[in-house]
């Protein structure tokens, strides 16, 4: 039971980070969203809000890696399409209310510990994407560059789509990225 409460609180923090940012992710809001008992806060997160946010960043990073792992052995274009589709789904299912929890932490914290956690998440995504893209037919050097471009461009596209409350910016970026990977694998 205790593990379920902790996991629920982490999931709630991910959701709040993705929708309201770090400022909108207080213990009170996490408790309200998850229904966890108030005594759970310092039992599970004795280090305070930063400990909860760090766990949420780690959890969001791990979920993205799990999604990427489902594309193992697929052509590079399918790997890129699956990564983009995850963001598209986040945008549309949440009616443009959700973005990336890791980005939310990155842009709003001055904590070196949280910044390192976010950096580790992005490094993990880059490494996994690069490996999958290379396995899927992109040359290694191109896979490394494309992995960074795919993350940076899709994150920016998510921000634009949330602001405009429209999928159009995201789709324009996604189309361009998929065209790039098709061209690179055709060489």
**What does the pLDDT look like over 156-183, one tens digit per residue?**
999 999 999 999 999 999 999 999 999 9
Rounded distance, CA 7 to CA 34, Å?
A: 10
Query: How many domains would you assign to the chain?
Result: 1
Confidence of residue 39 (pLDDT cuts 50, 70, 90): confident
The DSSP output letter for 49 is H
Give CA angle at 39 (38, 42), nearest 5°.
105
The enclosing domain of 146 has a CATH number of 1.10.357.10
**What does the pLDDT look like over 80-129, one tens digit per residue?**
999 999 999 999 999 999 999 999 999 999 999 999 999 999 999 999 99
Enclosing domain of residue 71: 2-186
Query: What's the predicted TM-score (pTM) here?
Result: 0.93
Answer for the pair 9, 30: CB distance below 8 angstroms, yes or no.
yes
- Which pair of tokens denotes residue 150? 């795919």
């Amino acid at each position: 039971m205790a593990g379920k409460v902790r996991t629920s609180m982490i999931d709630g923090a991910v959701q709040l980070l993705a929708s309201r940012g770090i400022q909108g992710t207080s213990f009170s809001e996490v408790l309200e969203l998850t229904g966890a008992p108030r005594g759970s806060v310092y039992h599970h997160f004795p280090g305070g809000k930063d400990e909860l946010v760090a766990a949420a960043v780690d959890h969001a990073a791990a979920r993205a890696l799990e999604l990427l792992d489902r594309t193992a052995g697929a052509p590079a274009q399918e790997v890129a399409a699956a990564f983009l589709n995850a963001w598209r789904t986040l945008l549309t299912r949440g009616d443009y209310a959700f973005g990336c929890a890791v980005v939310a932490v990155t842009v709003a914290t001055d904590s070196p510990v949280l910044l390192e956690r976010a950096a580790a998440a992005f490094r993990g995504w880059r490494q996994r994407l690069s490996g999958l893209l290379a396995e899927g037919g992109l040359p290694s050097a191109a896979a490394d560059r494309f992995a960074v471009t795919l993350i940076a461009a899709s994150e920016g596209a998510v921000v634009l789509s949330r602001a405009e409350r429209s999928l159009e910016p995201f789709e324009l970026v996604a189309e361009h990225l998929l065209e790039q990977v098709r061209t690179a694998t055709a060489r």
